[in-house]
Amino acid sequence: MSALILLGKPVAEKMLQDLKKDVKELDPKLVVVQVGDDPSSDSYIRQKLKSCEAVDMRNEHRHLDKKTTLKQLLSVIDELNKDPDVTGFIVQVPLPGDLNDHVPEITRAINPKKDVDGFGAYNLGKMFLSKEFEHLPPATPAGIFEMLKYYEIDVAGKHSVVVGRSNIVGKPLAVMLINRGATVTVCHSRTDDLAFYTTQADLLFTAVGKPKLITKEMVKPGAVVVDIGVSRTDKGLKGDVDFENVKEVASAITPVPGGVGPLTVASLIRNCVTAKKRQISVDTVILK
């Protein structure tokens, strides 16, 4: 058996195409704040701004010096929170030096209405309630559900195993799977005998950042495998899954690169449009 390859590009293109009308009508603006010159960040930001251009969405790249202090960054965030012309903004991570230790404080400083990464407690908390409250969900899990919908893969009643428990990928993905009726097991670095769990997965999601962590023997025949991990190696970008061998047992699998990545970006753009809709709707009286 050779698996169906779940390509992200056609899904992302459809998502962006569907957003164009709203962008034209609502005219939202996304600001991407970058501190320093991390090469991976440069590349991610380029993709984000390119997708803004693809839907004709206004965008700004606020590029700050690597010596920017926490106080200076919080002051930029305060300015963006107050600027009525800015619909949403993100602070690209990782941040240079000691600033990276302050990510929780920086995330907290972003107005939840403009938190289009969906990383703040308010938006994560709402997502906990039910699918209907996933207003500004974290972009990567949200993109994964767009992909599953596009390829007509249902999660309800299926056993989903999520490897990784970060606050921006693994944990929200697990909650969003529960919101859609999946039975969920979450594994992480302290999990004893990872293969015991992964071999029971109808759907296996992996967000770790360790190439070839998931081998063919760890995958149930016929499983759907979604590889979120991205590692830079001397052979290029690699996911967590031994793609060449696992595709022989899985029924469907995402490649790296070209799988989940484009959907993360498209979901961010969609969150910016949703943020604008909510900012101009009466519903926003409940937002703090």
Ligand X SMILES: NC(=O)c1ccc[n+]([C@@H]2O[C@H](COP(=O)([O-])OP(=O)(O)OC[C@H]3O[C@@H](n4cnc5c(N)ncnc54)[C@H](OP(=O)(O)O)[C@@H]3O)[C@@H](O)[C@H]2O)c1
Q: Does 272 interact with ligand X (rule: CB under 6 A)?
A: no
Alpha carbons 175 and 191: distance in angstroms, whole number: 19
Q: Residue 176, interface with ligand X (CB under 6 A)?
A: no
Confirm or reject binding of residue 28 to ligand X (CB under 6 A): no
Catalytic residue list contains 48 = yes
User: Residue 207, Cβ neighbours under 10 Å: how many?
Assistant: 25
Instruction: Tell me how far, at minimum, the Cβ of 169 lies from ligand X, in Å.
Output: 4
The catalytic residue among 92, 202, 242, 276 is 92
Long-range contacts of 46-49 (CB under 8 A, 24+ apart): 47/261, 47/262, 47/265, 48/265, 48/268, 48/269
Q: Which is nearer to ligand X, 26 or 136 (CB)?
A: 136
Q: Which is nearer to ligand X, 87 or 264 (CB)?
A: 264
- Cβ distance to ligand X smaller for residue 31 or 144: 144
Identify the bridge partners of residue 58 per DSSP, sorted by sequence position: 29
Shortest Cβ 8–ligand X spacing (Å): 9
DSSP string over 224-244: EEEE---EEETTEEE-SB-HH
- Asked if residue 6 binds ligand X (CB under 6 A), the reply is no
In the bound complex, what is the minimum distance in angstroms from residue 28's beta carbon to ligand X? Answer: 21
- The residue type of 3 is A
Burial 237-265 (b: 16+ CB within 10 A, else e): bbbbbbbeebbebbbbbbbbeebbbbbbb
Q: How far is the CB of 73 from ligand X (least distance, A)?
A: 20
72 noted as active-site residue: no
Q: Catalytic: which of 34, 48, 114, 158?
A: 48
Task: Give the DSSP letter of residue 229.
Answer: -
126 near 135, Cβ under 8 Å? yes
Question: Looking at this protein, which amino acid is placed at residue 241?
Answer: V
Residue 137 engages ligand X in binding (rule: CB under 6 A): no
> Quick check: is 117 catalytic?
yes
For residue 147, the minimal CB distance to ligand X (Å) is 11
Q: Which of 69, 189, 215, 284 binds ligand X (CB under 6 A)?
A: 189
Q: What is the C-alpha R_g of the chain?
A: 19
Catalytic residues: 48, 92, 117
Query: Applying CB under 6 A, which residues contact ligand X?
Result: 140, 163-166, 168-170, 187-191, 194, 207-210, 213, 228-231, 260-261, 264
